[in-house]
Structures are given as structure tokens and as C-alpha cells.
Amino acid sequence: MSFEERISCVQWNNNDLNHMIERLSDINDMMDEAVENDTYTPKIKELILEKYNCIIHDIRKLQVITCGVCKKTQSISSISIKDTEFLTIKSSWGYFSNHDCEKHEIVLCCDCYDTYLFKGELGKYINVTDYC
């Protein structure tokens, strides 16, 4: 499947904020991939920006994202792909796990991420790369 076909296939549930944020992350990953593979053309940039703007438009309709720990909120209108202050962790557990057929999800603000994950016991397992 070509890059153009992949980006045009990106779809999202416009009533699920976390799903839309995941799709933004997918689009960002696709853009990084295109840059790494020297396939980032003006047409690719246009396709990426079009999808990105459509998702941002739908996200702004939902108004607010809230941290699951401290309850800090951020107006969606202030979110962009480079300055999102929240992390979403989401998993659908399969069979033979300790959480068979359960869906787990948490949204963390930057402060809670730093406190409970990054600077906590799990911090040493987090792979950090700069994307700016």
C-alpha cells in the first residue's frame, strides 16, 4: 500500500477523544517515516496536514481532556501535535493474561506522567526520542 493510500485510510471515531489523539500519533509516525525514507513530498505534506486538520477540528468539538490522576484539564483548542500535555495509555487485554478481555485506559497529564512513570520505577524502561 502506498503512503498516499495509507494516510487517506486513516479514520477515527469523532466521539472518542483518546482514539482521535491516537490517530494524530499515527499520522505523526507516518510523517516521521516519510521523512526517514526520503518520500516526504509536497503532496504527502498536503495529505498529512489535511488529515491532521480534520482530526483537530473534531477534537476541538469535544472541548476538554482530563488527567485520570489529578483531574487537571486542558482546553482542546490549545492542543497541537507538538504541544500536547497529556499521554493516553490504552490496552485491550487478550486471553491468558491477568486481565482477560478487559479494556484498560488512563490519561495522564505531563506532571503525573513525570511523577508516576518517568521519574518512578518504570522510568528506566521508557525510550525517549526527540521529535522536534
Q: What is the pLDDT of residues 73-99, one digit of tens each?
A: 877 655 555 556 788 888 888 888 898
Q: What is the pLDDT of residue 99?
A: 87
Q: Identify each DSSP E strand in 1-132 by its residue range.
A: 64-66, 73-75, 86-92, 103-109
Q: By the 8 A CB rule, do 45 and 7 touch?
A: no
Same-domain check for residues 57 and 95: no
Report the pLDDT value the prediction gives residue 113, as an integer from 0 to 100: 92
Residues 57, 68 share a domain: no
| The total number of structural domains that make up the chain | 2
User: Last residue of a domain, which of 12, 35, 62?
Assistant: 62
Which residues form the domain of 10? 1-62
pTM confidence score: 0.48
Same domain, 51 and 10: yes
49 and 76 together in one domain = no
